[in-house]
Amino acid sequence: MDSFEKLTRAIGLEPTPEIPVYPHIVTFAGRCAGITQEQLFRSNRAWLSACEKTFATVGRPDVVFPMNPRDTAYIESMRVKLPGKELGPDEPFQFVEEEFMFPSDYDLILSKGWNAWNIEFMKRIQNPPLRGPLAKPKVLWRFIRAGLNTGKNVKYWQARGLPVMFHAGVAPPFDVFSLSRSLRPFYRDLFENADKVKQAVEVGTEAMIRLGITSARRAKGDRVAIFAMRSSASFLSPRIFAEISFPSIKRMVEAYHAAGLVSVLHCDGNWDPMLPHFLELPRASGVVELDGATDIRKAREILKGHLCLKGDVNASLLSLGTPEQVEAYCGELLDFMGHDGGFILGSGCEVPFTAKVENVRALIQAVKAG
């Protein structure tokens, strides 16, 4: 089977003799290709070239990440330090956890809408902040550039026989607020101003549904990533998840499913107590990406035959382990998951900047050994 069929069968929960492998590679490409992070961030072309060299070294995966690191850093709702600017030339980019969003921003969302607020917020978190008549066009252009680059990358990899994991990306408004407000202020909002948070989440959810569908269709693709990075039990109680976070995620997945799109739920952290909620989502409507903090075997037991799982060779194993350890972990995981469909072998979240080349190679080769 080619890589497109492997991925389609996995998402569709169809039995398959071949399991696809997807190492989530972004910044690791610079280290493997022998260039600095500053050089990797310079252009989309530089990143594609580094990925080509990386795959020539570690082996060809079945699925690739479609966004270059510069665009990935920009679209997050946090201030970012970049290599060669605020950081050294070969340091990986870093997000800044600070309170850039304020309680008054909820009122702005409710009065002027999500998009108007988001533009003002994005101007605020740039380093230095953007001001003046050109500030809004700069924000909009960088979003447009990210979309154009992603579209180019979809075509680039497709021409080389490789599907991308997603064609458009969004984040649940709840998670955006957690990142933008920073944890402690956002926790305070959840207890002191929960009704307003809920209302703002509802406004944001509708905006994210429209954005995901429009962006995916513009890219002529059928998968939308939902980066649920702050909705796990690592950050929330199951009660708050069920009351505020999950209803938004569910509406997004259902809306995408109705539009013929697959949701790729990027689930950082420990989702063990939340797993049963995913049974409320339409069957075969998404991929649940796990990073090692969630018990992937438990997830399989609960969601087998309902949703596809991706994971979960964690960062510490790829950075500190040996090829033999990676091979053993992947072999055991493949044996447990079997060939009934609904599984993509991959890294737990992003392949770390510090990963050993031989370990990433062992991850990619594991599906052939299995």
The per-residue pLDDT of the chain, averaged, comes to 96
pLDDT band at 370 (very low <50, low <70, confident <90, very high): low
48-88 pLDDT, tens per residue? 999 999 999 999 999 999 999 999 999 988 999 999 999 99
Q: In the chain, pLDDT over 90 holds for what percent of residues?
A: 98
User: pLDDT at residue 369 above 70?
Assistant: no
The Cα-based distances of 319 to 18, 92, 168, 224, 360 in angstroms read 27, 15, 29, 29, 9
Contact 268, 349 (CB under 8 A): yes
Count of Cβ atoms closer than 10 Å to residue 145 Cβ = 14
Cis ω before 312 (30° cut-off from 0): yes
> Each residue of 313-368: pLDDT tens digit?
999 999 999 999 999 999 999 999 999 999 999 999 999 999 999 999 999 999 98
The pLDDT value recorded for residue 77 is 86
Q: Cα dist. 194→46, 100, 117, 145, 151 in Å? A: 45, 19, 19, 35, 38
* pLDDT at residue 185 tops 90: yes
Q: How far apart are CA 146 and CA 122, in angstroms?
A: 14
At residue 156's C-alpha, the angle toward residues 226 and 357, to 5°, is 75
Task: Convert the pLDDT of each residue in 271-314 to its tens digit.
Answer: 999 999 999 999 999 999 999 999 999 999 999 999 999 999 99
d(CA 161, CA 92): 29
pTM above 0.75, yes or no: yes
- Secondary-structure class of domain 3-369 per CATH: alpha beta
Q: Note whether 74 and 80 are within 8 A (CB).
A: yes
Query: Mean pLDDT across the stretch 96-112?
Result: 95
Instruction: Mark 61-94 as b/e (b = at least 16 C-beta within 10 Å).
Output: bbbbbbbbbbbbbbbbbbbbebbbeebeebbbbe
Q: What is the mean pLDDT of residues 134-155?
A: 94
Residue 297 CA to residue 299 CA, distance in Å, equals 5
Judged against a pLDDT cut of 90, whether residue 169 lies above it is answered with yes
Query: Mean of the pLDDT values across residues 197-213?
Result: 97
| Residues 6+ positions from 85 with CB-CB distance below 8 Å | none
Percentage of the chain exceeding pLDDT 70: 99
Q: Cα dist. 86→95, 112, 224 in Å?
A: 11, 34, 32
Tens digits of residue pLDDT in 227-254 = 999 999 999 999 999 999 999 999 999 9
pLDDT, residue 368, reads: 81
Tell me the H-state helices in the chain: 3-11, 28-33, 37-40, 44-58, 69-75, 103-112, 114-125, 135-159, 173-181, 183-192, 194-218, 238-240, 246-258, 296-303, 315-320, 323-337, 357-369
